[in-house]
Amino acid sequence: MKKACLSLSLIFFSFLSSSTLIAQATVDAKLKSIDFGYKVKENDVAKTLKYLASDELEGRETGKAGMVKAADYLEQFFNNNNVKPYFKSYRDTLSTFKETAFNIVGVVEGNDPFLKNEFVILSAHYDHIGLDKNGVNGDFINNGANDDASGTTAVAEMAKYFSTAKNNKRSILFVFFAGEEKGLLGSKHLAKKLKAQDFKLYAQFNIEMIGVPMKRDYLAYITGFDKSNMADKINGYTGKNTIGFLPKEAEYKLFYRSDNYSFYELFKVPCQSVSTFDFQNFEFYHHVSDDFKAMDIPHMTSFIQELLPAVAQMANSPTREIIMLK
């Protein structure tokens, strides 16, 4: 019996090893099918981030002049990079806010006759909290470089890549939300609007506060880590330990506190936020010192570069690979 068990064990583990190799080969083959000779440029990352976090925009408070200036910049960015408006214009006016405010929404259509009807949403909020009436050492502007000009910059650079590569089978909606700091108002508005149009959402990948690196053995974490297999799939797509579990994320229930939740609530598909803010590496949350000079541009550039293959695979997998777990 022991010999038989040993033989069966060897066969079983041999099968597992073969399965693992086959699975890895499949991932490798998929990655090779997409050209990643494309390189994100530090100067481009710095240019967008520096403007969005500049004093000129006065903290980008929703409904204020600085928010409109930021919207103008992002519209022009889309236009310059051949990202088309999803609606009649790039501006999606909020129905959830008493003043005039708008999300900025662009699209790169998929190239597959069937899969182009499904969408991946790449998003970030471009608003922040505006002016501080008390100020700190004479500085009254909450520039919001990390929160969330950094995520907005990452989505902009990804939009630039996909509009050039045009290698996505699914369509990709690029969204810059207003009203996040007012209670997720921009995402609540757009989620409701798209749901009413029978919008077919594959997954949402929301980028929130990626301006400084973590001192951990993974690049970033996602909110609601165990709600879907997104983290596992991203790591498979990048071939690295890109996404890890951050206990603080679960403790503070961050899954419910960013624009991903508005879409999860209505669509019940994987909608999660990715971040590198871990409560230890940045002390200027909602503070006037959250400005451009506090950001790590090489880190941001590496973050965008590393996540591009994962986003490309989300947009190209022939079947639904990213699924809810609970």
Res 162: pLDDT: 98
pTM here? 0.89
- Nearest-angstrom CA–CA distance, 131 and 201: 36
What pLDDT does residue 35 have? 54
Range of the domain at 205: 37-316
Quote the tokens at residue 282. 């940045």
What is the number of domains present in the chain?
1
For the chain, the distance separating the N- and C-terminal CA atoms, rounded to the nearest angstrom, is: 41
Q: What is the pLDDT of residue 326?
A: 79
Burial class of residue 195 in the structure, from the number of CB atoms within 10 Å of its CB (0-12 exposed, 13-18 middle, 19+ buried): middle
β-pair type (131-136, 139-141): antiparallel
* Residue 116 belongs to some domain of the structure: yes
Is 30 within a domain? no
Domain-embedded: residue 22: no
d(CA 233, CA 239): 10
**Is residue 255 assigned to a domain?**
yes
CATH number for the domain spanning 166: value is 3.40.630.10
Sign of CA dihedral 143, 80, 86, 238: negative
Element spanning 205, H or E: strand 201-207
pLDDT of residue 23: 40
Residue 45 placed within a domain: yes
Is 70 domain-assigned?
yes
Residues of the chain with pLDDT under 70: 1-36
In this prediction, residue 310 carries a pLDDT of: 96
Q: Is residue 17 part of a domain?
A: no
